[in-house]
Amino acid sequence: MSIPTGQITGLVLAGGRGTRMGGLDKGLQRLHGEPLALHALRRLALQTGPLLISANRHADRYAELGEPFGATVIGDTLPDFPGPLAGLLAGLRAAKTEFVLSAPCDTPNLPADLARHLAEALEANTADIATATTRNVNGEVSMHPVIALLRTSLADDLAAFLAAGERKVRAWYARHTTVEVAFADGRAFYNANSLQELADLERA
């Protein structure tokens, strides 16, 4: 890809409430004996330069997970867990590179070519954001909005969007030039929002 790996900061989003897991810290739940966030970190570490972990709880535990990768733990600057855009804003602010590649902590099987395909599409379309999509067996397209490559220059606009009380990822994307990038293997984007989905992943 034409965007150098060193110009992409990997961002693992682990700052949510874990509502569908009964309030558990999702990124610390175990898959194959290891925390979900560790799986995501490994995947991003192979495709990016610096690494960040957005976490609002158990920062010391996430620091331990991130230490082998040189990852830095950051928290939301906005109170009350306002959603993934708050974690994304923290990442865009903290990054010292031109781009951020974000992914939620509960997607342990991210494609090895995620950064390359998103970067190629972003540059080819002179876009601000490139996000992943997949197609299910019925041919329906699913967008995975927080699995995205973004320009860090978008931080101020995102801050203004959140300050206005807005929270929807797609609504913010609509303000910018966004390209959707199709990936063939939907299993690579399977995420564990609940303990049942985590158990399903464990058996897969």
Q: Report the percentage of the chain scoring pLDDT > 70.
A: 92
- Predicted confidence at residue 18, as pLDDT, reads 57
Tokens of 113: 């070519």
pLDDT at residue 179 is higher than 90: yes
Determine which of 5-19, 33-47, 173-187 has the lowest per-residue pLDDT on average: 5-19
Domain ranges of the chain: 5-203
Q: For 53-62, what is each residue's pLDDT tens digit? A: 999 889 999 9
Q: How far apart are CA 60 and CA 64, in angstroms?
A: 6
CATH 3.90.550.10 for the 5-203 domain, yes or no: yes
Mean pLDDT (the chain, rounded): 90
Q: What is the largest CA-CA distance in the chain?
A: 43
Provide the pLDDT for residue 21.
57
Q: How confident is the model at residue 107 (pLDDT cuts 50, 70, 90)?
A: very high
Cβ neighbour number for residue 170 with a 10 Å cutoff: 10
Task: With a cut of 90, say whether residue 152 has pLDDT above it.
Answer: yes
Convert 126-152 to b/e letters by CB count within 10 Å (16 or more is b). ebbbbbbbbeeeeeeeebbbbbbbbbb
